[in-house]
Amino acid sequence: MSSKIFKITKTLKTKTPFSHMHKHKPNILLFTIVILFLLTGCNPFNPGEGALEGVVQRQTGNSYTPVSDVLISISGSTSTTYTDHNGYFLLNDIPAGKRTLTLIKEGYITLKLLNVYIEPSIINKVFFGDPIVLKPKEDTALYNQAMDYLEQKRYQDARDAFVELRNTYPDSVWADDAQYYIGNIYEISGLYIVARDEYSRLLLYYPSSSWAPASRLGIGNCYYQTGDYFNAKIQYQSVIDNYPFSDLIPFAHYRIAWCNRILGNYGEAIDGFQELITLFPENIYAPPAQYFIGEIYCKDLKDYNMAIDAFHSAVNNYPLATWPEQNGLIAPCAYFYIGYCYEKIEMWQEAVYTYQIIVDEYPDSTCWGETKLIAIQAQERIEYIIEKYLSPPENPEL
């Protein structure tokens, strides 16, 4: 009896430790899981999400410039975003905890910021609101320097920097940009033959470049500026034919029409301007195209009635339009030529009425690059017409 009790007791003692260990094993696992969560930056007791904002810049001399289109991503989240033109970004839906922020932009050294802590339910700021400075690669730094020179109109310095970039880093993502700007600087400087050759070099070495349409247009401009209107037309037409989605097509139409006018192809010029108006009625070159249709009828063809109709279309369809890249209004110029055409067909009262519109409605306008106010010129025409054609005849008996 005693022996049996001893055996049972012994058996229980040997089983108790094993049972005790099995019972507490889940607590060890739970402890391990908590440690892993903390080490990876996740807090199982505070699982909320937060947001992160910041500003990305690059150093330019002694100042800083925003960097746009930087890809922003962060560990633990699938959300990404890009910086805007001010270099600003806002990234939402980020799990709380320590994260790694990554900034990527072509031409710049990829930047990874470790231990960026995300507090839940607030917008966190990188570096407490101070900018993140992205460092460009060597070729990008040279490109940025050249662009800074270009914006400052230091054309010689810009050209030298672009040439260095093209020659030193021929495989750079900026090489074709550099080649285009070399040609563009020569064009701006009036060295049209050299500019044409540089534009042609881009088309030869970088035919798929996004600058190809602009280079082709630039070649056309160089021919145009040197008086070779036949070859200018060919280049402008090439822009239209080869780059159908380019936003340079309206200007190509505009210049082709002008080439035709200068060459004396007045019908083709009118058709070209009208095609531009029909295809691109909202383009900035549509209003001057309508105006120049009137000018061709007036100055070149001496068809004053057709000219009056064309100028009236310019006024009625584009009452607030300005000359491209200028501030002057087109309407008062059109009104002036309407008055001129009425003079040519000896409709004196109509001419005076039209000139008076300019005096009353456009007192501060100038036209055609002149400094003299067009209202003053219109008033001079009014006084001339009244004195010469509308004054009552003198009474010989007085």
Predicted model pTM: 0.75
> Which amino acid belongs to residue 304?
Y
In order of 227, 262, 269, 341, 343, the CA distances from 273 in angstroms are: 20, 13, 6, 21, 26
The angle that helices 138-151 and 155-168 make with each other, rounded to 10 degrees, is 160
Q: Which segments within 69-156 are labelled E, that is strand?
A: 71-74, 80-82, 88-95, 97-104, 111-118, 123-125, 132-133
Q: Which pLDDT value is given to residue 14?
A: 39
Residue 329 DSSP symbol: B
> Which amino acid belongs to residue 34?
V
Q: Which pLDDT value is given to residue 31?
A: 54
Task: Summarize the chain as % helix, strand, coil (round to 5).
Answer: 55, 15, 30
CA 141 – CA 4 distance, rounded (Å): 91
pLDDT tens sequence across 237-247: 999 999 999 99
Q: Which pLDDT value is given to residue 4?
A: 38
Q: What is the DSSP string of 243-273?
A: -TT-TTHHHHHHHHHHHHHHTT-HHHHHHHH
pLDDT < 70 regions, the chain:
1-47, 393-398
Tokens of 142: 């040279």
Q: Decide: helix, strand or coil at residue 291.
A: helix
Q: Which pLDDT value is given to residue 180?
A: 98
Q: Which pLDDT value is given to residue 392?
A: 75
Distance from chain centroid for Cα 94? 32
